[in-house]
A and B are shown apart, each in its own frame.
Chain A
Amino acid sequence: MPVERSVEAAFAAGLLDPSVSVPVQVKGQTPRRYAVYRNNVTVGLVRALEANFPAIRRLLGEAYFAGLARQFVQDYPPRSPLLFHYGANFPAHLAAQDDLAAYPYLADVARLEQLWRQAYHAADAPTLAPEELAGLDEAAMADLRLTPHPAFALLASPYAVHAIFTANRAAGAAVADPARPEWVMLTRPRFDVIVKPIPKGAHGFFSALASGVTLAEAAEQGFACDDSFDLAAAIRLMVEAGAFQSLSLRATP
């Protein structure tokens, strides 16, 4: 025989599951009264997902999103009271929906929304100043490594994830051709998150740099991704957007 459940366990069991009856410990076993808590919890968490994934909400429509979100909060209630991080596995949940198979870009749009919030709440840090790079000896260049800014993130997608994200965070127009690849960089030099589509080669270059390899190795990676990789343009882009916070000169990581 299982141990008798605590009041709290019995109360919690039905909060997200409408098929569970009112806990016996509740005086009078009043369904409408217990339902206030169920409703508070469900509506509150569905609203949290709406706030966290506004582009997905617009793409799916309010009613469809609410239904999907209700299912998600029942299956995956938050594990942290930091609700602005809630829904880390919502993109995967979207990808797993058979009904949404015709919209394969949704998961990556949701990933971009998740990355946006992570960037928004990331730690404050200075960004690499152009003078720091300008002042380097030519001989030091080969061993140059960069430390990414805490808000820096990259996303590569086979879909036009930036165009769809941008159009649906505000009331923008529909994106005509979602099935084209895009590479996206997120930075937050001070308070505003910058979401920028970048060339494929720059994505490979930044990705390598952020992993801690030298500038030379990262440049090689950029060309490996894309023959037309423009190293000077990519360096300019990263400094302008505040992708990195500091540099170091060491032969090995």
Chain B
Amino acid sequence: MRATRPPQAVQPLRLPIFPTPLKSGAGFKPEHLDAILADSRKVGFFEVHAENYMGEGGAPLAMLERLRADYPIFLHGVAMSIGGEGPLDREHLARFKRLVRRYEPQVVSEHLAWSTHDTAFYNDLLPVPYTRAVLKRVVRHIDEVQHTLGRTLLLENPSTYVTFNDCEMGEIEFIREVARRTGCGLLLDVNNVFVSATNHGFSPESYLADFPLHLVCEIHLAGHATEADDEGKPLLIDAHDRPVSSEVWALYGQVIATLGPTPTLIEWDNDVPEWAVLKAEADAADAILAAHATDAHPDLRHAG
């Protein structure tokens, strides 16, 4: 798999090389480190937000280094603002590159979203209109990221609460075209699909049937909250603050039945529970992965 092969050896490797974990993993929270190291049953991998490890030194980097000795690390950027109209922040990209060099992550991913406008960083994944002009700049930004890092990037589908008037194509057409032009891989967030489908009234099953699954190298699962929109209809919030919903588990099962075992992350970022609770979610994903261990559709397993 393109996106999960070991990094090019620009310097002698001093970190263990792991095979692609066709298992579940968890979003790493520093408060879980003791429990993780004491746990005799290992998860497949840990994923971290790149930005939280961009300090100069100290405990965060030491903790990540400790974790990296035992586990594959997936590096997930949340602030590159790939969908933004301004140029990429070169300093930020350079910091990202230092992390890739230092920790040799198994997977590097980012979002189809923007988070910076002018000089303000909003710390949220804000939506992009699906137009040809936006497509062009997203392609330009991903090219720059992949060229700078020397790595294939996985792009994650967003969860959205609004749509725009002047869209020139659908989300899947947009994502498919970005992948075609940049050669990037895809990170399929099944909860995001369910959240957006509910919020905008489309069928998540149809979305997944159209989605270019052959480019998917990682899956995200998370819990969402339910609010009401302007007309009193359900408005789902991608809150990552509770267990994965039964609807999302069902969709995930369908995806894995088609795609075969794929690294799957459980995200839990607000009201973070103790490690055992998060681990139980990862176990639930593993049960589905194991049930479909032999289901890999040969046409969908793209070669590297």
Contacts and interface: CB of A to CB of B under 8 A. Distances in A.
A–B proximity contact (CB within 8 A): yes
Contact of B57 (A6, A7, A45, A121): A121
B235 A33 contact: yes
A180 interface: no
A9 B117 contact: yes
B121 A191 contact: no
A48 B56 contact: no
* Most chain B CB neighbours (cut-off 10 Å) among A8, A25, A83, A122: A8
Nearest to A12: B117
B171 interface: no
Nearest to A15: B122
Given A36-B235, A77-B121, A79-B120, A27 B55 contact: no
Nearest to A79: B119
Given A78-B121, A80-B121, A37 B56 contact: no
B230 A124 contact: no
B123 interface: yes
A30 interface: yes
A150 B55 CA distance: 12
A20 B78 CA distance: 26
A26 interface: yes
Contact of A120 (B58, B126, B127, B163): B58
Contacts of B44: none
Given A36-B161, A41-B122, A150-B56, A81 B235 contact: no
Contacts of A11: 117, 126-127
Given A7-B129, A8-B117, A37-B161, A32 B122 contact: no
Contact of A32 (B119, B123, B228): B228
Interface string B49-62: 00110111111111
B237 A82 contact: no
Interface residues of A, number: 42
Contacts of B52: 84
B84 interface: yes
B69 to A, nearest CB: 17
A203 interface: no
A57 interface: no
Contacts of A200: none
B92 interface: yes
Nearest to B164: A25
A78 B164 contact: no
Given A48-B123, A80-B121, A124-B58, A25 B228 contact: no
B181 to A, nearest CB: 21
A139 interface: no
B165 interface: yes
Contacts of B164: 7, 25-27
B229 interface: yes
Interface in B246-274: none
A188 B54 CA distance: 18
Contacts of A79: 119-121
The 10 A-B pairs with the shortest beta carbon distances in the complex, nearest first, are A121-B55, A81-B79, A124-B57, A12-B117, A123-B56, A77-B120, A191-B59, A36-B161, A123-B57, A40-B124
23 contacts: A9-B85, A9-B117, A12-B120, A12-B122, A25-B166, A27-B164, A32-B227, A34-B162, A36-B237, A37-B161, A80-B121, A81-B79, A81-B121, A83-B51, A83-B123, A84-B52, A121-B55, A121-B57, A122-B56, A122-B57, A122-B58, A123-B57, A124-B57
Given A7-B164, A78-B123, A81-B121, 16 more contacts: A6-B85, A9-B117, A11-B117, A25-B129, A32-B230, A37-B162, A41-B124, A44-B124, A77-B122, A81-B54, A82-B55, A120-B55, A121-B56, A122-B55, A122-B57, A150-B57
